[in-house]
Amino acid sequence: MSSTGSADEALGRAEELLERLKATREELERLAAQENAEAAVEVLTELAELAKEVEAELAKARARANAPQP
């Protein structure tokens, strides 16, 4: 597998995670409107985990894109 392919895969994964992040954020906004603090805390935890996953995938993509070509 080429470095570019791997970088593209990591970017694709990051894009999927960003979509999940957006949906989760919308869920948080809905819960905030309902003043459901307990559920909102759970969603905030999920948002933090998703953000870490996005960051990791972007770091992989950068590293793979910058890797020397064989």
Check: CB of residue 39 under 8 Å from CB of residue 31.
yes
CB atoms within 10 A of CB 28: 19
Q: Residue 1: its pLDDT value, please?
A: 47
pLDDT tens, 15-70? 898 899 899 999 999 998 999 999 999 999 999 999 899 899 889 888 888 878 76
- Written as six digits, the tokens of 27 are 């869920």
**AA identity, residue 43:** V
More confident position, 14 or 26: 26
